[in-house]
């Protein structure tokens, strides 16, 4: 089993992932964008390097971070929700060049179910993505960059993330006339995210694509109403369903077929 793992992006998911990997005996290196955060994590016992990836190239201590890694896990989101015009593909192509130069043999690239369009309806890994959003289009291009590179890459498409203090209903509570009430939720708990990544590493399941989404898909209307009640929040209100609306429901065949994975967390 490979012993040195790098995590590009030691944040909400990356930090607890690093803690879990250390428990399993892996050597872990991480990267963050801010020097102050790198210093804080260093003082907490983590081997962390400051690194930034821009449309001009990769900067910071990236060579030290990438040196002697057996596996690299990339947890760097596109950051395109605010229509910044950022070129995520260009940024990640620079990063991939440095990864290849460092001769890293294996990579897990964390993507998103946003590569699928609502109009595609029910999808699994067997369905070719047809993204509608700019973030989805750029993510799919980066998936293809890595999948066709010299680095043996596994793509993990996470659904909506929750766990810890992150519960989506907090942002929806009390809101009215929301759209998509009949849309199925495509969610995954942070604990399952971490467990799936660990299984990929332990089972050496590289060169594959995984949709990582909880297999239960209640409607947004029902799910968030129940969650709001559970958390003593005001229920969000959804607009009436419009005829002809289609919503994506993301499932996986590969989690079971390749990893024999069972979800530990319910919705």
Under 8 Å between Cβ of 65 and 101? no
Residue 181 resides in a domain: no
CATH number of residue 206's parent domain? 3.40.50.720
pLDDT digits (tens, 9 = 90+) for 28-63: 999 999 988 888 888 888 899 999 999 999 999 999
Residue 196 resides in a domain: yes
Residue 109 resides in a domain: yes
H or E segment and range at residue 17: helix 14-23
11 pLDDT band (50/70/90 cuts)? very high
pLDDT digits (tens, 9 = 90+) for 69-118: 999 999 998 875 555 668 999 999 999 999 999 999 999 999 999 999 99
Is the pLDDT at 1 greater than 80, yes or no?
no
Rounded Cα gap, residues 71 and 92, in angstroms: 17
243 pLDDT band (50/70/90 cuts)? confident
Under 8 Å between Cβ of 168 and 183? no
pLDDT digits (tens, 9 = 90+) for 156-209: 999 999 998 899 999 999 999 999 999 999 999 999 999 999 999 999 999 999
Helix (H/G/I), strand (E/B), else coil: 142 = helix
Identify the domain containing residue 145 by its residue range. 4-162+188-216+250-259
Under 8 Å between Cβ of 88 and 142? yes
Percent of the chain with pLDDT over 90: 85
Number of domains within the chain:
1
């Amino acid at each position: 089993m490979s012993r040195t793992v790098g995590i590009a992006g030691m944040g909400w998911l990356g930090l607890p992932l690093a803690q879990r990997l250390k428990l399993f005996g892996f050597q872990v290196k991480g990267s963050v964008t801010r020097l102050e955060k790198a210093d804080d994590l260093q003082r907490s016992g983590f081997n962390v390097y400051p690194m930034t990836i821009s449309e001009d190239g990769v900067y910071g201590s990236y060579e030290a971070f990438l040196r002697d890694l057996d596996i690299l896990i990339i947890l760097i989101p596109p950051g395109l929700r605010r229509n910044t015009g950022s070129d995520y593909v260009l940024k990640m192509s620079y990063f991939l060049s440095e990864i290849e130069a460092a001769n890293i043999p294996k990579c897990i690239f964390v993507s998103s179910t946003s590569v699928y369009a609502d109009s595609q309806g029910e999808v699994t890994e067997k369905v070719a993505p047809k993204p509608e959003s700019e973030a989805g289009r750029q993510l799919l291009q980066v998936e293809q960059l890595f999948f066709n590179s010299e680095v043996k890459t596994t793509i993990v498409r996470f659904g909506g993330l929750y766990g810890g203090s992150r519960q989506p209903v907090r942002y929806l509570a009390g809101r009215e006339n929301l759209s998509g009430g009949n849309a199925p939720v495509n969610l995954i708990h942070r604990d399952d995210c971490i467990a799936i990544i660990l299984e990929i590493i332990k089972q050496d399941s590289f060169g594959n694509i995984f949709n990582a989404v909880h297999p239960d898909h209640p409607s947004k209307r029902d799910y968030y109403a129940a969650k709001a009640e559970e958390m003593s929040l005001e229920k969000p209100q959804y607009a009436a369903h419009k005829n002809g609306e289609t919503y994506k429901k993301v499932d996986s065949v590969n989690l079971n077929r390749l990893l024999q994975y069972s979800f530990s967390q319910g919705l």
